[in-house]
Chain A
Amino acid sequence: MDATDLARWQFAIVTLYHFLFVPITIGLSFVVAVFHTQWVRTHNPDWMRLAKFFGKLFTINFALGLVTGIVQEFQFGMNWSAYSRFVGDIFGAPLAIEALLAFFLESVFLGLWIFGWGRIPEKLHASTMWIVHVGTLLSAYFILSANSFMQHPVGFRFNPDSGRAELTDFFAVLTNKVQLVTFPHVAFSAYLVGGGVLMGVALHLMRRESLRASALLRGVDDLDSTAGATRGGTGSSATAEMTMTAQARQATAARADVPLYRKAARIGAVLTLVAGVGVAVSGDLQGKIMTEVQPMKMAAAEALYETSPQGAGAPFSVLTVGSLDGQHANALIEIPGLLSFLGTGTWDGEVMGINDLKAQYAAKYGATGDPTLVDAATDYVPNIPTTYWTFRLMIGTGIAAAGIAALVLWTTRRGRAPTSKWVLYAAVAAPLLPVFGNSFGWIFTEVGRQPWAVFGLMTTASGVSPSVSVGEVVTSMTVFTLLYGALAVVEIKLFLAYVRKGAEPFDPPTEPSDVDEDAPLAFAY
């Protein structure tokens, strides 16, 4: 492995890791803002408990998203300095603006939200979480416009004197047609994750509290009969009765929380479903644009080697066995015409195949004679098995998440709070499916762009830092991988511990005042 391969692996590892937390941050900040607003509007204690509970889970997740985001900003310069020089005139601006407009909003207002209990008026307090949420969306917008430039460069010219790409129209970069479909797709995917986390956590707690209440009540019944048997004797009936009442109280409390979590689970399911529709619609639009600007990526999504001419209707294979090299593929399930529809919007539209595109790309880009761009060895075909499978997994996980949401809405209809083992499986799958769906989507779109870093302008291989040695990349990759791995364990354990703890009992908030100078803080680290 040379420095390029290592740098690519490192980019993949730290970026995918970072993006586990990003959609949770976007999605959950929305969820918490809604809960907090509902509390301010209705003063129903349920909303306050949910806002605080999911707010805590949000902060656990946000912390890791934030710190891994710093690495993102630095690594362009560290590992990809040639790339940074080449596109810095265009690419740097969205990053700087992201920091100035989004990161400050998120960080400052999250600090206000976390420490604001009892210190700022409630309406202002609820709005701080909305501002955090807006910050997360702004952040997504700017970084995605940078990414969209890499997918489909616009608003620039290549300056032969400076040897770099230079910005000519910043507005064009911000309204890149790839960006206009990518941003909604990513935002809806984040809401899908937010809905999934909410649904999963709430389902688990709904089931647990329901089972706990039943178990405790069984215990009360047992104690009741024991107490009855010993009554009149010399037994310790008083103690038994005390235990009984304590247990009965706990059981009542547990039972009382079931509707709370049921409500949260249903809200999560609705969010998941709505977001799922948004993901599908925006993804469909994205497919058309992708076919137009990066036809190779669409061909790679299907491992379509031979062009499917107009009128033939290219099928979409759901599952394939055998190799994906164009020789031995055996589609097990095929949907006729679907690939044509995804790519062109008609069921029999022409979809270019890998072989034709390869010749086309070679003629177009190979002829420039620019050795920093491409050379004879440049392979214009991305890694087909990766694009083929991640494309399917992306779609599959999304559909599965929406399916779970529909089932949850059905099984919890009219006050039902099911407790079967299936609820637990659904609770685990609900957050994980969309989170990994996001990862698959990113792997697909980034691998599918290869060999380009900036499509048609610069190859990934020519973007690496010339001054960075293999040893240095190995060091940083090892350090980040080990550190990130360890932190994942810490984060997940902490997250689960707080999930297990459940929503805290309602604690009426104190009005902000400076009267009681010695009162302990309503919230402190």
Chain B
Amino acid sequence: MELTTFWFIVIGVLWTGYFVLEGFDFGVGMLFPLLGGKRHAQDAADADKRRRLLLNTIGPVWDGNEVWVLTAGGATFAAFPNWYATMFSGFYLPLLLILVALILRNLGFEYRHKRPEPEWKARWDLAIFWGSLVPPLLWGVALTNVVRGVPIDANMEYTGNLFTLLNPVGLLGGLVFVALFLTHGAIFVALKTDGPIRREARAVAGRVGVVAAVLAVVLLTLLGLDHGKTVSWATTAVAVVALLAGLAANAREREGWAFLGTAITIAMAVASYFLMLFPNVMPSTTDAAFNLTVTNASSTDYTLKVMTVVALVFTPIVILYQAWTYWIFRKRLSTKHIPADVSLEHAAEPDTALRS
């Protein structure tokens, strides 16, 4: 296999890792107002406990999940500098929004519990919700447009603007990402919790999952008609079957199998995207001669060799220790496991002594 092909696959795998893992914590964040809101909670205190429970299901792992996108970005830079340069400068405003959303969301995870005031928590709750909704939406829009092609000139520069990306299929791509991650996240909550919230999460997954399935079928068919190959149709079929199987497992209260189902769905959907793309990495709608391909966008053979050695040695290690943390925090949680709020409530009284 050519090294450029190998690195195309590696980048596909990194995006897959990112969406399978961060996908569920995006989903958990989006479920904040629903599972931790008035509809299900008995009172404000219960709502807060539920939100903290939701946070704690992803608490030890979300940060590691997010590194997958940094690695995907870094690997794209290293292996396909032209792809990185064209995509990141071309999709400027969506990426800016994604960055802002990720910043606010991550700080929400880390800071929400650090003060007891309800206003403080409410503000970070908003950050967590929007910060979990905006990135999947915009990643969906961006990557769907990559598959469809965007205007790129002879110098590999993007010549469109923000509205070029906001076409119906692109937007549908965004919605599919959101719906899939919501389903994935709800099933994750059902898998990781106990008590009423587990049942409610299953119900949400069932309802949103059907919408996700319909939208995903429409999207992948639309994309497949223009860009499909036999093998991408195969992965698309697996994605759809896995989603339906996952939803069936969810309905039978088999959360582990359901989670495996949505994980496979996301992985196969990403695989379909990459298979439809290959051997291009960013096709140009201006002129097929301006397509960015695995060949003209890539680094030198030497760089790819160095990177290959590093990736082959370290990726398995990373996967092992990351999997190990999932094992350590495998226990189901319920609201009774959430300790009393100890943030700053018992703080020592202010420095009155100093003012005397």
* A-B interaction: yes
Binding site for B on A (CB under 8 A): 59-60, 62-64, 66-68, 70-71, 73-74, 76-79, 81-82, 84-85, 87-93, 95-101, 103-104, 107-112, 114-116, 119-120, 164, 166-168, 170, 207-208, 211-212, 214-216, 465-468, 472, 475-476, 479, 483, 487, 490, 494, 497-498, 500-502, 514, 518-522, 524-525
Measured CA separation A61–B100 after assembly (Å): 18
Q: Report whether B56 and A521 are in contact in the complex, using a CB–CB cutoff of 8 Å.
A: yes
Q: Report whether B157 and A467 are in contact in the complex, using a CB–CB cutoff of 8 Å.
A: yes
Distance in angstroms from A18 CB to nearest chain B CB is 11
Contact residue among A73, A79, A87, A114 (Cβ-Cβ distance under 8 Å from B89): A79
Any A CB within 8 A of the CB of B86: yes
Distance in angstroms from B69 CB to nearest chain A CB is 8
Any A CB within 8 A of the CB of B230: no
Q: Report whether B61 and A111 are in contact in the complex, using a CB–CB cutoff of 8 Å.
A: yes
Q: Report whether A167 and B303 are in contact in the complex, using a CB–CB cutoff of 8 Å.
A: yes
Q: Report whether B106 and A92 are in contact in the complex, using a CB–CB cutoff of 8 Å.
A: no
Q: Report whether A73 and B92 are in contact in the complex, using a CB–CB cutoff of 8 Å.
A: no
Measured CA separation A518–B331 after assembly (Å): 11
Q: Interface 1/0s, chain B 279-304, versus A by CB < 8 A?
A: 00000000000000000000110110
Known: A73-B70, A525-B112. A115 touches B89 (CB 8 A): no
Measured CA separation A212–B60 after assembly (Å): 38
Known: A64-B107, A103-B67. A85 touches B85 (CB 8 A): yes
Question: In the complex, which residues of chain B have a beta carbon less than 8 angstroms from the beta carbon of A93?
Answer: 78, 303, 306-307, 310
Q: Report whether A215 and B353 are in contact in the complex, using a CB–CB cutoff of 8 Å.
A: yes
Q: Interface 1/0s, chain B 63-99, versus A by CB < 8 A?
A: 1101100110111111101101111111011011001
Number of interface residues of B (CB under 8 A): 84
What are the 3 closest A-B residue pairs judged by CB atoms, nearest first?
A88-B81, A77-B88, A92-B78
Measured CA separation A456–B315 after assembly (Å): 36
Q: Which residue of B lies closest to A88 (CB)?
A: B81
Measured CA separation A256–B115 after assembly (Å): 27
Measured CA separation A323–B78 after assembly (Å): 44
Q: Which residue of B lies closest to A62 (CB)?
A: B110
Can you show 19 pairs from A to B with CB atoms below 8 A apart?
A60-B114, A62-B110, A63-B106, A67-B107, A70-B70, A78-B92, A85-B81, A88-B81, A88-B84, A92-B74, A92-B303, A100-B71, A107-B63, A112-B60, A214-B353, A467-B159, A472-B92, A501-B344, A525-B59
Any A CB within 8 A of the CB of B168: no
Q: Report whether A170 and B306 are in contact in the complex, using a CB–CB cutoff of 8 Å.
A: yes
Contact residue among B90, B92, B302 (Cβ-Cβ distance under 8 Å from A167): B302
Any A CB within 8 A of the CB of B113: yes
Question: In the complex, which residues of chain A have a beta carbon less than 8 angstroms from the beta carbon of B154?
Answer: none
Binding site for A on B (CB under 8 A): 52, 55-56, 59-64, 66-67, 70-71, 73-79, 81-82, 84-90, 92-93, 95-96, 99-100, 102-103, 106-107, 109-115, 155-159, 299-300, 302-303, 306-307, 310-311, 314-315, 318, 321-322, 325, 328-329, 331, 333, 336-340, 344, 346-348, 350-354, 356
Question: In the complex, which residues of chain A have a beta carbon less than 8 angstroms from the beta carbon of B64?
Answer: 104, 107-108, 111
Q: Given A111-B63, A519-B337, 5 other A-B contacts at CB below 8 A?
A: A81-B89, A100-B310, A104-B67, A487-B107, A494-B114
Known: A63-B110, A111-B59. A215 touches B356 (CB 8 A): yes
Q: Report whether A77 and B89 are in contact in the complex, using a CB–CB cutoff of 8 Å.
A: yes
Measured CA separation A207–B350 after assembly (Å): 14
Q: Report whether A475 and B59 are in contact in the complex, using a CB–CB cutoff of 8 Å.
A: no
Q: Report whether B73 and A73 are in contact in the complex, using a CB–CB cutoff of 8 Å.
A: yes
Q: Which residue of B lies closest to A95 (CB)?
A: B74
Measured CA separation A266–B115 after assembly (Å): 30
Q: Report whether B67 and A74 are in contact in the complex, using a CB–CB cutoff of 8 Å.
A: no
Contact residue among A101, A501, A514, A524 (Cβ-Cβ distance under 8 Å from B347): A501
Measured CA separation A290–B95 after assembly (Å): 37
Contact residue among A97, A111, A502 (Cβ-Cβ distance under 8 Å from B325): A111
Question: In the complex, which residues of chain A have a beta carbon less than 8 angstroms from the beta carbon of B322?
Answer: 104, 108
Distance in angstroms from A362 CB to nearest chain B CB is 29
Q: Report whether A88 and B111 are in contact in the complex, using a CB–CB cutoff of 8 Å.
A: no
Question: In the complex, which residues of chain A have a beta carbon less than 8 angstroms from the beta carbon of B79?
Answer: 92, 96
Measured CA separation A236–B313 after assembly (Å): 76
Contact residue among A73, A87, A215 (Cβ-Cβ distance under 8 Å from B74): A73
Measured CA separation A89–B84 after assembly (Å): 11
Q: Which residue of A lies closest to B162 (CB)?
A: A472
Contact residue among A77, A107, A520 (Cβ-Cβ distance under 8 Å from B77): A77
Q: Report whether B56 and A490 are in contact in the complex, using a CB–CB cutoff of 8 Å.
A: no
Q: Which residue of A lies closest to B338 (CB)?
A: A524
Q: Report whether A74 and B99 are in contact in the complex, using a CB–CB cutoff of 8 Å.
A: yes
Q: Report whether A100 and B314 are in contact in the complex, using a CB–CB cutoff of 8 Å.
A: yes
Q: Report whether A500 and B300 are in contact in the complex, using a CB–CB cutoff of 8 Å.
A: no
Question: In the complex, which residues of chain B have a beta carbon less than 8 angstroms from the beta carbon of A59?
Answer: 110
Contact residue among A89, A114, A514 (Cβ-Cβ distance under 8 Å from B81): A89
Question: In the complex, which residues of chain B have a beta carbon less than 8 angstroms from the beta carbon of A110?
Answer: 63
Q: Report whether B329 and A468 are in contact in the complex, using a CB–CB cutoff of 8 Å.
A: no
Q: Report whether A168 and B354 are in contact in the complex, using a CB–CB cutoff of 8 Å.
A: no
Q: Report whether B89 and A208 are in contact in the complex, using a CB–CB cutoff of 8 Å.
A: no
Question: In the complex, which residues of chain B have a beta carbon less than 8 angstroms from the beta carbon of A467?
Answer: 89-90, 157-159
Known: A60-B114, A467-B158, A479-B100. A104 touches B339 (CB 8 A): no
Distance in angstroms from A87 CB to nearest chain B CB is 8
The CB with the most chain A CB atoms within 10 A, among B103, B115, B156, B321, is that of B103
Measured CA separation A99–B315 after assembly (Å): 11
Q: Which residue of B lies closest to A91 (CB)?
A: B77
Measured CA separation A500–B303 after assembly (Å): 51
Measured CA separation A67–B318 after assembly (Å): 21
Known: A71-B99, A497-B115, A521-B56. A99 touches B339 (CB 8 A): no
Known: A70-B103, A100-B311, A104-B64. A475 touches B93 (CB 8 A): yes
Distance in angstroms from A214 CB to nearest chain B CB is 8
Measured CA separation A74–B100 after assembly (Å): 12
Measured CA separation A104–B322 after assembly (Å): 8
Question: In the complex, which residues of chain B have a beta carbon less than 8 angstroms from the beta carbon of A111?
Answer: 59-64, 325
Question: In the complex, which residues of chain B have a beta carbon less than 8 angstroms from the beta carbon of A215?
Answer: 352-353, 356
Q: Which residue of B lies closest to A520 (CB)?
A: B339
Contact residue among B59, B74, B85, B306 (Cβ-Cβ distance under 8 Å from A524): B59
Q: Report whether B74 and A98 are in contact in the complex, using a CB–CB cutoff of 8 Å.
A: yes
Q: Which residue of B lies closest to A213 (CB)?
A: B353
Q: Report whether A524 and B339 are in contact in the complex, using a CB–CB cutoff of 8 Å.
A: yes
Question: In the complex, which residues of chain A have a beta carbon less than 8 angstroms from the beta carbon of B157?
Answer: 81, 466-467
Question: In the complex, which residues of chain A have a beta carbon less than 8 angstroms from the beta carbon of B75?
Answer: 96, 99-100
Q: Report whether A497 and B347 are in contact in the complex, using a CB–CB cutoff of 8 Å.
A: yes
Question: In the complex, which residues of chain A have a beta carbon less than 8 angstroms from the beta carbon of B84?
Answer: 76-77, 84, 88, 92
Distance in angstroms from B141 CB to nearest chain A CB is 17
Measured CA separation A475–B59 after assembly (Å): 33
